[in-house]
Structure 1
Amino acid sequence: MSDSSNDPFDLAAVISRLYVYPVKSCAGVRVQEAILTETGLEFDRAWMVVDAQGHFLTQREFPRMALIQPQLKAYEMVLRAPGMLALHMALDQVEAPARVKVWDDEVSAYDMGAIAAQWFSDFLGTPARLVRFDPEHRRISSRQWTGGVEALNQFSDGYPLLVISEASLDQLNARLAATGAAGVGMERFRPNIVLGNAAHGSELAPHDEDRLELLQIATAQGAVRLKPVKPCARCPIPNIDPATALSSPEVGDTLQGYRQDPRVNGAPTFGMNVIRLGSTADHLLQVGQAVDASYRFG
């Protein structure tokens, strides 16, 4: 906590990790920096795998998606998976317009073509296509949770950013260890921004992100203000080992034991969905940047 009586913030932290998930429900990419855009981190959930009817596919039905590893390069995305040749796709090219379904939203997209469709169909063992979000489409996060703020996202589950603290994962791993289970990595929880302790100031408590009203990140382009709006209710995906795509219940069972959240009808939660406030100009987020935060009261 700052010693300055003029400081409106209660907590000092830093960005300890950044993750981008180019293809929804495939592996993430840990990065040292990422551009924060109006819809979240650049290229985050910009692509999605759909079935023959245009409905989205995830690790919930196809755990093998965890083994698909994207790599972002200057002009292309490269996808790799066990037993498959690498799939190269130019970042600035799409094919035919499409309409697809993610949860209850029908959105405009672009089909990525026959080669990508065959690659995903072969690996998943079911007819599948890859689509890219249409940047002209405005997919709006639930106003019920954003307090009326118009927050845009692409193919995420509903919000532009997910924030988790290192302290929250440490507590979960301590609880797993107490049951004789192995600890797990942050990758299972698919955050965009991970908060760690600042060099000076009080340490983050587990799930401090649940209690924050506002986060402010100092960037070269100016301060960015973020607002946590909805606890992230957890489905079975955190049970899936991202290295093997095998599922076991200990993570979900442990969360069920101490993280049932009345705000989302008693579902276990881990992390907070976050929106931007104010300017939607692009900002460069970097690991190590200072994050000031204020607690929510009342």
Structure 2
Amino acid sequence: MSFESDQYDLAGRIHSLFIHPIKSCAGIAVQQALLTASGLQWDRHWMVTDMDGALRTQRELPRMVLIQPAFDGDALVLTAPGMPELRLSTAVPSASGNATRARVWSDTVSALDMGDEAARWFSQYLEVPSRLVRFNPDYRRIVDPDWTGDVEAITQFADGFPMLVTSTGSIDELNQRLSQAGEDNVDVRRFRPNIVLDGIESHDEDRIDSLFIDAGGEVVELKMAKPCSRCPMPDVNPDNAAVGTQVNGMLRQYRADPRMDGALTFGMNAITLAGEGLVLKVGQAIGGNLSFD
């Protein structure tokens, strides 16, 4: 398959890429990312749980957004206000003695516990008993086939889909509306996307069926599978964990989505149709055909 930008209804480029190694903690802006079967490499690969294995999120613990992950060689390095640095190996631990179960909403999945040191660190910072787990790479968590058709897509600890795609146009429109209402602007980190597109109109990502990306002469194809319904997390300020109401308050004025029975949506959940093993990079050309008005 060759990439010819003039064969698509719209064209643009990848503006930015993000991975969120630990679900509900801060993300990392990256210049490139490997596309794996379950999304961008390392995205939502770890998760904080309670002592029964149920996920912990910013919805209840907004200060999770201040836990900043970084990679240093073969180590995942975590920092947070008032906490010593925590270094964890990215090597997959043996399942012997580490195997556990974790719950992502209604899904129970196979996971590997990251040990007592990590548990103490998260419990101290979050002030509630917690464990850190990583997704068991031998386990396949299947995406809801009602949205993927005959494609069997997989994901790790994401809410339901391997990737989230949005655009600079969409965040610009939101900020224009916030400014007109006398509210402060927000940045795209609040929506926790993986791929941010540039050069397309506001919310054109809603209307794309397949998104094509020129990955160094080879073509990645992503299917825009489902609109992303928004929870209160976009109202958590990623810089200080302060919780407001302005983002969802504004979305209620123009983003009630009839496709999702009136739920507020922003961005599109995506799955991979072609290109697993290729590298996505900031600046790569994209194209898409609009599927509906």
Aligned to 1:112: 114
2:142 and 2:190 mapped to 1: Cα distance?
25
State the TM-score, normalized to the length of structure 1: 0.94
1:117-154: CA deviations, max 9, x gaps?
A: 00000000000000000011110111111123111110
How many residues are matched?
Answer: 287
Aligned to 2:151: 149
2:62 and 2:6 mapped to 1: Cα distance?
46
Aligned: 1:208 with 2:204: yes
The one-letter code of the counterpart of 1:229 is A
State the TM-score, normalized to the length of structure 2: 0.95
Say whether the 8 Å CA contact 1:121–1:128 is kept in structure 2: yes
- Alpha-carbon distance, 1:265 to partner: 1.5
The one-letter code of the counterpart of 1:259 is R
Aligned: 1:129 with 2:140: no
2:192 and 2:198 mapped to 1: Cα distance?
16
Aligned to 1:67: 66
The one-letter code of the counterpart of 1:18 is L
1:202-247: CA deviations, max 9, x gaps?
A: xx11100000011111113721100101000000000000111110
- Alpha-carbon distance, 1:274 to partner: 0.5
Say whether the 8 Å CA contact 2:164–2:267 is kept in structure 1: yes
The one-letter code of the counterpart of 2:55 is F
C-alpha RMSD over aligned residues: 1.4
Aligned to 2:286: 291
SS in 2 for 1:209: helix
Say whether the 8 Å CA contact 2:156–2:162 is kept in structure 1: yes
- Aligned counterpart in structure 1 of residue 105 of structure 2, from 95, 103, 106: 103
- Alpha-carbon distance, 1:84 to partner: 0.1
Alignment of 1:18-33 (within 5 A): 18-33=17-32
1:153-199: CA deviations, max 9, x gaps?
A: 100011011000000000000000011000001100000000012xx
Q: What stretches of structure 1 of length at least 5 have no aligned partner?
A: 198-203
1:289 and 1:7 mapped to 2: Cα distance?
15
- Aligned counterpart in structure 2 of residue 167 of structure 1, from 134, 148, 169: 169
Say whether the 8 Å CA contact 2:219–2:274 is kept in structure 1: no
Aligned to 1:189: 191
SS in 2 for 1:263: helix
Q: What stretches of structure 2 of length at least 5 have no aligned partner?
A: none
Aligned: 1:258 with 2:254: yes
Aligned to 2:142: 140
The one-letter code of the counterpart of 1:116 is A
The one-letter code of the counterpart of 1:271 is G
Aligned to 1:282: 277
- Alpha-carbon distance, 1:275 to partner: 0.6
Call closer, same or farther: CA 1:278–1:31 in 2, change over 3 Å: closer
1:297 and 1:83 mapped to 2: Cα distance?
50
Give the ranges of 4+ consecutive aligned residues of structure 1 lying more than 3 Å apart after TM superposition.
none
1:265 and 1:134 mapped to 2: Cα distance?
34
- Alpha-carbon distance, 1:263 to partner: 1.3
